[in-house]
Amino acid sequence: MGETKPQIEPTFMSLPGTERTAIIRLGAAVRLSYLKKRLFLAESKLQQFESQYGVSLAELDAQGLPDDADHAMHEDYVMWHHWADVIDKVKPDIAALEELVQQGLSLGELSRAGG
């Protein structure tokens, strides 16, 4: 028979406000650390590709792959775009989380965040 999953929001909102604030601050700090590591990795990968091929991704996109590009370069090109996308996706999240971690949440914001 199907199991019903408990609703996290009501359980979270039943906690005292100080606990909710602590959980959000800790969660935001942990998530921020993870995203910063991911950004560092992605930027390192981009630098590695740029150094290896002597061109930026934007330049390569504008010029197109060389006619003699081998299979490895095609694979690198796909991964290069992947890491560029990772950077584009995590930067706004990092900015938002940095603000959250620095400012914290007021209890009014916290009650809206949970429900």
Is residue 39 situated within a structural domain? yes
User: How many residues would you count in the chain?
Assistant: 115
Is residue 2 situated within a structural domain? no
Task: State both tokens at 88.
Answer: 């584009």
- Is it the case that residue 1 has pLDDT exceeding 80? no
Q: Which of 90, 104, 79 is nearest to 31 (CA)?
A: 90
Give 64-75 pLDDT, tens digit per residue. Answer: 999 999 999 999
State residue 15 phi and psi, 5-degree precision: -75, 155
User: Is residue 85 classed as helix, strand or coil in its secondary structure?
Assistant: helix
Range of the domain at 107: 8-113
- Is it the case that residue 6 has pLDDT exceeding 70? yes
Give 53-108 pLDDT, tens digit per residue. Answer: 999 999 999 999 999 999 999 999 999 999 999 999 999 999 999 988 887 654 34
Number of domains composing the chain: 1
Is residue 3 situated within a structural domain? no
